[in-house]
């Protein structure tokens, strides 16, 4: 099946910042979260995908079309929510819908009405007069109903309160159920959008630190509370220890070690994704040391 997006060996330098090389394939039916610290290059990568910035090298194909082709008609098959929307201020939500909807052949007016309803959006008010949170909700209402095979959201939860974030997650889950489509989300808020993700593409300071299947990652990390003092030797898989706790990224090996050394774990738990990401980036940094 045709990939929604394919990036190979993509690089971009901006002053002293270097992004890439980036290799990334977005398959239909998947949600990929670009995760990384502030300034790690998430927005830059999305702009490269949308051909709003020019890569220094590499290739980007969107739904089988090179992104840098002169014919920009492929963009009507991509719903892109940038971090900010310039030029919206003088227009009401109703005006913006009239401008945007005709650009997208599969625009869904009923879905737009539902989102407006759920987010209680005042369509008669000018965008510039809305609070940042309501502006963000309106931008989402103008993006999701495009029903394009590929949706790209840059920090979609910015300014949203907790119930609105939950509503957005429900909307995106429903949206994915409607067909063979894919979502790419950039977020530095690990807890939010990573819940939805099938894959995490992790960036740090422009470097690709790895692509991870979320469920596999969640199963790989475990935290144990031991009944006794921690052993002096490190347990296999142990990546961090504190007081009577050990964190492992190879639970089976760690548990056999406990067994062999007659150590009892009184409690054990999976880790939150946010904690895993922090540990992962630390591990990668250590392995990169000369």
Binding site for ligand ATP (CB under 6 A): 14-15, 17, 36, 38-44, 188
Q: How far is the CB of 183 from ligand ATP (least distance, A)?
A: 17
Is the Cβ of residue 38 or residue 243 nearer to ligand ATP in the bound state? Answer: 38
Report the residue number, 6 or 154, with the smaller CB distance to ligand ATP. Answer: 154
* Nearest-approach distance from CB 189 to ligand ATP, in angstroms: 9
* Closest distance to ligand ATP from the beta carbon of 188 (Å): 4
Residue whose CB is less far from ligand ATP, 17 or 159: 17
CB of 47 to ligand ATP, least distance (A): 8
**Cα maximum dimension of the chain:** 70
> For residues 22 and 196, which CB has a smaller minimum distance to ligand ATP in the complex?
22
Phi, psi of 213 (to 5 degrees): -80, 125
Nearer to ligand ATP (CB atom), residue 161 or residue 205: 205
| Number of alpha carbons in the 13 Å side-chain half-sphere of residue 279 | 21
Nearest approach, Cβ of 143 to ligand ATP (angstroms)? 18
For 179-220, the DSSP string reads: SS-EEEEEES-HHHHTTT-SEEEEEETTEEEEEEEHHHHHHH
Q: Which is nearer to ligand ATP, 18 or 268 (CB)?
A: 18
Q: C-beta of 18: minimal distance to ligand ATP in Å?
A: 9
Distance CA 182, CA 150 (A): 5
Cβ-based nearer residue to ligand ATP, 41 or 237: 41
Distance in Å, CB of 184 to ligand ATP, minimum = 13
Are 184 and 20 a contacting pair, CB within 8 Å? no
Q: How many residues does the chain have?
A: 290
């Amino acid at each position: 099946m045709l990939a929604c997006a394919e990036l190979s060996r993509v690089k971009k330098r901006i002053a002293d910042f270097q992004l890439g090389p980036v290799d990334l394939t977005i398959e239909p039916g998947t949600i990929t979260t670009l995760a990384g610290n502030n300034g790690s290059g998430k927005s830059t990568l999305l702009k490269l995908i949308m051909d709003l910035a020019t890569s220094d090298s590499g290739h980007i194909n969107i739904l089988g079309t090179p992104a840098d082709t002169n014919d920009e008609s492929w963009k009507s098959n991509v719903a892109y929510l940038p971090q900010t929307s310039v030029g919206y201020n003088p227009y009401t939500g109703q005006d913006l819908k009239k401008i945007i909807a005709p650009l997208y052949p599969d625009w869904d007016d009923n879905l737009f009405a539902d989102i407006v309803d759920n987010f209680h959006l005042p369509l008669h008010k000018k965008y510039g007069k809305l609070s940042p949170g309501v502006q963000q909700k309106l931008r989402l209402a103008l993006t999701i109903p495009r029903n394009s095979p590929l949706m790209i959201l840059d920090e979609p939860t910015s300014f949203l309160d907790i119930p609105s974030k939950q509503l957005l997650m429900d909307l995106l889950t429903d949206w994915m159920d409607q067909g063979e489509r894919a979502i790419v989300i950039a977020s530095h808020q690990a807890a939010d959008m990573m819940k939805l993700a099938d894959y995490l593409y992790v960036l740090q300071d422009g470097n690709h630190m790895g692509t991870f299947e979320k469920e596999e990652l969640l199963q790989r990390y475990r935290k144990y509370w031991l009944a006794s003092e921690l052993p002096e030797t490190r347990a296999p898989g142990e990546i961090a220890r504190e007081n009577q706790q050990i964190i492992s990224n190879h639970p089976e090996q760690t548990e056999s070690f406990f067994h062999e050394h007659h150590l009892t774990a009184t409690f054990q738990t999976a880790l939150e994704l946010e904690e895993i990401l922090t540990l992962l980036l630390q591990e990668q940094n250590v392995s990169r040391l000369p």
